[in-house]
Amino acid sequence: MTVDYRGTTALITGASSGLGAEFARQLARRGANVVLVARRLDRLTQLAAELHEEHGITATPLEADLVEPGAVDRVVATVTERGLTISSLVNNAGFGTRGRFDEEDPARIHEEITLNVTALVDLTRALLPGLYSAGRGSLITVASTAAYQPVPYMAVYGATKAFVLSFTEALWVEAQGTGLRVLALSPGATRTEFFDIAGESARVGAFREPRDVVAAALRKLDGRNPGPSMIDGARNRATAISTRLMRRRGVAALTGRIMAPDQE
C-alpha cells in the first residue's frame, strides 16, 4: 500500500529548513517533484539544486512570506502560471511565541495566527480540488503535541495547533473515496529552528530528529487505512493520551506549572 509519488508534484511550505526541508528530501527520494515555499530563497535554491542532483526530480524554489496579505494567492497563481499540477501538499510553515499573553506583542500574535491558521486554511482550500482530482497524493499538516491540551505561556501557539488538528481530522473524513490521503502530524520536541524563536525552555521531552519524524509520517500514510492523525514518538503519544484521562482544569494547571517562565 506504499503511496506512489513518482511523477507527481508536492508543494511544501516552510521548506527552507527543519521538517519542511526533510519532507522535501524524503518525497524527492520517492520520485516526487517538489515546489519549495519559504521566505529564504537562497536556502530554497540550494535545496532545489541538491534534490535535482541526487534524485533527478524537478525542484522549484518559490520565495514567499505567507504572513503577507495576498501571499497565498500569489503562490497559487505562480504554480498555475508554470503549469504545475499539485498532487500533494505539506502544510509545515508555522512558528510559536512564548510568554504571558498580556505581555506579548499584538502584531506578532497576529502573524502567528495568520501563518499557523489562516495561510494554512487558504492554501489548502485553493489546492484541495486539484488534490482530489489527482487522487493519488497526500495532504499533510504539521500540528503539534501542543494541540492536545491548553498551553499556558504558549496560549496562542497551542490554540492554533489545536485548530490545525481538528481541521485536518475533519478533512480526513471529507476526503474518503477520493484517493487523497490526509494526515495531521503532531511532533513533540524536534531538532529544528522552531526553538530559535520559541526558546529552548519551550521544549518538553527529548529531541527527535526531523528525518525520523518525517519517515514515521510517511510510513503512516503508507498504511492500509491511515489517518486521520498521529503523534510522533511513543512517549509523546503516552503523554497526550494521559491528558484525556484528567479533568481539563487539572491538565491546564499542570501544563502551566511545566511551562511557567519561572521554571527556566
pLDDT by residue (tens digit) across 57-91? 999 999 999 999 999 999 999 999 999 999 999 99
Among 17-31, 110-124, 168-182, 240-254, which is the least confidently predicted range? Answer: 240-254
Map residue 134 onto helix, strand or coil: helix
Which residue range is the domain that position 242 belongs to? Answer: 9-263
- Look up the CATH number of the domain holding residue 189: 3.40.50.720
Domain annotation covers residue 188: yes
Q: Is residue 230 part of a domain?
A: yes
- What's the rounded Cα separation, in Å, for the pair 18 and 14? 8
Alpha helices in the chain (DSSP H): 18-29, 41-55, 71-81, 106-113, 120-134, 155-174, 194-198, 210-222, 234-243, 248-259
For the entire predicted model, the pTM comes to 0.88
What total number of domains does the chain contain? 1
For 190, the 3-state DSSP assignment is: strand
Is the residue at 1 inside a domain?
A: no
Grid coordinates 528525518 are at which residue? Answer: 211
Cell numbers standing for residue 241: 493520551
Length of the chain in terms of residues written: 264
Average pLDDT, whole number, for the chain?
A: 90
Q: What is the pLDDT of residues 9-54, one digit of tens each?
A: 999 999 999 999 999 999 999 999 999 999 999 999 999 999 999 9
Q: What separation in angstroms does the CA of 118 have from each of 18, 101, 124?
A: 21, 20, 10
Task: Please report the pLDDT score of residue 51 as a whole number.
Answer: 98
Q: What is the mean pLDDT of residues 136-156?
A: 94
- Of 8, 17, 54, the C-alpha closest to 35 is 8
Average pLDDT over every residue of 187-214 = 69
Residue 4 resides in a domain = no
Q: Environment class of residue 131 by beta-carbon count within 10 Å: exposed (0-12), middle (13-18) or buried (19+)?
A: buried
Q: Is position 195 within any domain?
A: yes
Q: In a 3-state reduction of DSSP, which class is residue 162? A: helix
* Radius of gyration (C-alpha) of the chain in whole angstroms: 18
- Per the domain annotation, does 2 fall within a domain? no
Please, which pLDDT band fits residue 188 given cuts at 50, 70 and 90?
confident
Q: Identify whether 106 is preceded by a cis peptide bond (ω within 30 of 0).
A: no
Q: Active-site residue numbers?
A: 157
Instruction: Choose from 129-133, 151-155, 191-195 the range with maximum mean pLDDT.
Output: 129-133
Q: Which residue has the cell 503523534?
A: 231
Confidence of residue 197 (pLDDT cuts 50, 70, 90): low
